[in-house]
Each structure stands twice: as C-alpha cells, then as structure tokens.
Structure 1
Amino acid sequence: MIAAFLGMRLYSVLGRKAEHEEEIIQGRFKQEEEARDVPPPTATGADSARVEPVIAGFPPAIERGLREISTADRNFELIGFMEGAKGAYEVVLEAFWQGDKEELRELCDDDVYQSFAAAIDEREAMGVTLDNKLIRIEDSTVHSAQLDGKIARIAVIFVSDIASVTRDKDGNVIAGSLDDAVESRDIWTFSRDIRSDNPQWLLDETDIG
C-alpha cells in the first residue's frame, strides 16, 4: 500500500502543471559547470546563420515559436539549450529522489519546487526512501515553444529508462527493482525572461507525456 501511494504521489508531482507564473526565485541553474559538471540550459551566443538550420524541420507551430524566441533573443542557441535541458533533467530527478531540496530550489521555479518539496516531506514522514536510477535518456526533443510577451518557454519531451526501488526505514526493499527499468515519458517546460542578463533557464512546469 505504501509503494502504491508513493507511486501515485510521484506521478502527481511529475504530472502537475504550474498554474501561476511566480516571481523567479533567487536560485538559478548555475551558469558554469561546477562539481557535478552538468551544463545548464543557457542562452549562449550564436548568430542567426547558425540557428536557422537547427530550427528548420520542426512542425510549423514549434518552428514558429523557436524563430520568435531566436529573433527576440539573439543569443539563443537551440543545441546548447537542449544539452543543458538533458543535464537538468538528470540533476532534478536525482535531487528529488535523494530529497535534496536545496538543489531543487536552484533549478526550479517556486511552484514546481513546492510540489517536489511537499512530496519529499510526505515521503520522509512515512519513513521511506527512493533508491531510483536513471539508466539512460533514450530521446529528447522539443515538444512546444512559444514567446509569451518577454517570457520564452520551451517544453522538452524526455523518453528515458528508469529503475525504481522503494525502501523502508530499515533499508529493506518494499517495492521495485534496480534490475528492471521502466520507460518514462516526461514533458518538462523551461522558461526564461529574455530581458534578463542572466542566460539561465528554470524548470517551471512538469507533465507526463
């Protein structure tokens, strides 16, 4: 029953959409590769000639959104953003599984952070821990893109293999197995105010693909 509850709770957290655009918290994706050596999504320098071939080929709605973002923000580079998004996906999942609220606060906007933090608190109150492992990211691609006023938003769909294990307070496995990975399809939306001098993006919405 505990394992079933946790599974439902994790689904609700990863599937919850932020309903309000809150003030971006002080924490940001770190601009430089620090100890974990993970490149965050950043708007790195690139001219339009470099961006054009990358943007072309998407469905019309996505291509239009990406072109609007790249036109408004001349420093936007899709390839660099996607590499950073994959790194952020790994780091956020690991931080959630380990209950690292400090890491999550730096990578997520306020709404998403509160959802993750609430799930961590419930897990701790029940005396259980997650011993999950991201086996691999099979695929990542742009799911949607739009420029909402001065806020750029890009949703990325991640297809990954994740092995999940739930342990009780004594460390005993009560659900799952590290030997059996399950395919996960998550849609994460990253946002950035293009007026900001800070080139970093925040995770501001999560959903199940």
Structure 2
Amino acid sequence: MVSIIILALVALFIGLRLYNVLGERTGHEQQLSLKPADAETVATPRAPVATPGQPAPAEPLDTAYLPTAGPGVRALLAADTSFDVARFLEGAQGAYRMILEAFWAGRLDEVRGFLDPEIAAAFDGAIAEREAAGQKLDNRLIAIEQALIAAANVTGKVATLTVRFEADIAAITRDSGGNVIAGSLSDAVQTRDRWTFRRDLGSSDPNWILIETDDE
C-alpha cells in the first residue's frame, strides 16, 4: 500500500512538472497554430501622442511582455511585420491548455507535431510510467491567471519566445479501479511555468514549436 502511494505521489509530481509544452491553438479547441492574425491587440505598445509645443509623453508600459523582453519583441516585429503580440499570447494559452490535457489523457499524438522531439520523448516516458503503474491522471486546468512574454530573441531568421504562465490546476491521481490515491479536485494548486517556442520566420509554416520547458 505504501509503495502504491509513493508511486502516486511521483506520478502527481511528474504531471505537475511536465505539463510544459506548446504548439498553438487559438479558439477553444482547435487549430494548433500560433500564427499571426488580424486580431485586436489589447496589450501591444501604442505610439505616444505629442501635444504641439510639449515633449512627447513616455511610451506606456506594455503588459504583454516584461520590460527585459522589449528589445527582442521589437526585433521580432521588425523582422516579421505580420506578427501580433496579443494574438500570439491568445494562441499560446490555447496551446497550453490543449497540450496539458493531451498529456494528462495520454493522447500525445494529438499535439505531437507541435513538440520538439526531446519534449515529446519526455512526455512519452512519463505517460508510459504512469500506464505501467496502472495509474490515471484526472487533472483540471481551472484558470490561466496570466500569460506574458518573458524573453524574446531573433537570430537570423529564427525567433524564440519564452512565455511565462501563471495558472491554477487541480490534480488527482486514480488507480486502475478509478479510486483516488493522490490529490484533490477541490484544491487547485497555483503553478508558474516558462515555455520557450521557436519559429523559422522564413518558413511558410506559421506554427511555433515548443523547444524548452521550465518552472519557477
């Protein structure tokens, strides 16, 4: 019995640490593609308006990305004029939800095309261990409290963006009989993760691929 509980706690830990991965899917379900679009940008920088005879006001603080990511974001906007910050973050949140749910359900093939091979392999390993132990995750992503760009870089035609997510997740592990052996759906855990995505700006493929995950 003790060994079963230990395995359950390990599975729960892996579940909470590994739900870090991306592609993109805007909307509620389905179009994994973090591609730019003509959407309203609710948090992108706006040019300050100057009053004749007075100095121009300072540029407002952008809530879509951290100040340290500003130079990289501006470099990306210059390299790809169709890139839209708000649309990207909207898609990143959709991808965050879809990929976590695919991992928790053990259906990674649904999002495999949007994962770097190493990330996909890590997920596959965790799913295999869970199934070998006769366990099933019954997790819920309750809410994404915040998603913003924490780092941005453009090297040649390759762009990388790191998104910081703050989310509430309720996690539970069940045995093969459906009995709860760890966690609770009534007690959400606040999580903070950083997902790094990459895209070749010279490619016609609009998708961003998850290349790295980390937690804070």
TM range (shorter): 0.7 to 0.9
- Alignment pair present for 1:163 and 2:170: yes
How far, CA to CA, are the matches of 2:60 and 2:38 in structure 1? Answer: 19
How far, CA to CA, are the matches of 1:7 and 1:163 in structure 2? Answer: 11
Percent identity over the alignment is 39
How far, CA to CA, are the matches of 2:164 and 2:212 in structure 1? Answer: 12
Q: Is this contact kept in 2: 1:29–1:106, CA < 8 A?
A: no
Match of 1:143 among 150, 171, 184: 150
RMSD: 2.7
Match of 1:44 among 24, 37, 50: 37
- Alignment pair present for 1:76 and 2:69: no
Structure 2 residue aligned with 1:3: 8
Cα distance, 1:161 vs structure 2: 0.6
Structure 1 residue aligned with 2:183: 176
Q: Which runs of 5+ in 1 are unaligned?
A: 17-27
Report the count of equivalent residues.
193
Q: Go from structure 1 to structure 2 and tell me whether the alpha carbon gap of 1:81 and 1:97 turns closer, same or farther (over 3 Å shift).
A: same
How far, CA to CA, are the matches of 1:56 and 1:125 in structure 2? Answer: 53
The structure number with the bigger radius of gyration is: 2
State TM-score, norm by structure 1.
Answer: 0.82
| Higher percent of residues as helix | 1
Cα distance, 1:135 vs structure 2: 0.6
- Alignment pair present for 1:86 and 2:87: no
Residue identity matched to 1:5: V
Q: Go from structure 1 to structure 2 and tell me whether the alpha carbon gap of 1:10 and 1:39 turns closer, same or farther (over 3 Å shift).
A: closer
SS, match of residue 136 in structure 1: strand
Cα distance, 1:73 vs structure 2: 1.1
Cα distance, 1:148 vs structure 2: 2.6
State TM-score, norm by structure 2.
Answer: 0.79
Cα distance, 1:193 vs structure 2: 0.5
Q: Which runs of 5+ in 2 are unaligned?
A: 1-5, 48-58
How far, CA to CA, are the matches of 2:145 and 2:24 in structure 1? Answer: 23
Q: Is this contact kept in 2: 1:39–1:83, CA < 8 A?
A: no
Q: Is this contact kept in 2: 1:44–1:199, CA < 8 A?
A: no
Q: Is this contact kept in 2: 1:159–1:183, CA < 8 A?
A: yes
How far, CA to CA, are the matches of 2:175 and 2:34 in structure 1? Answer: 35
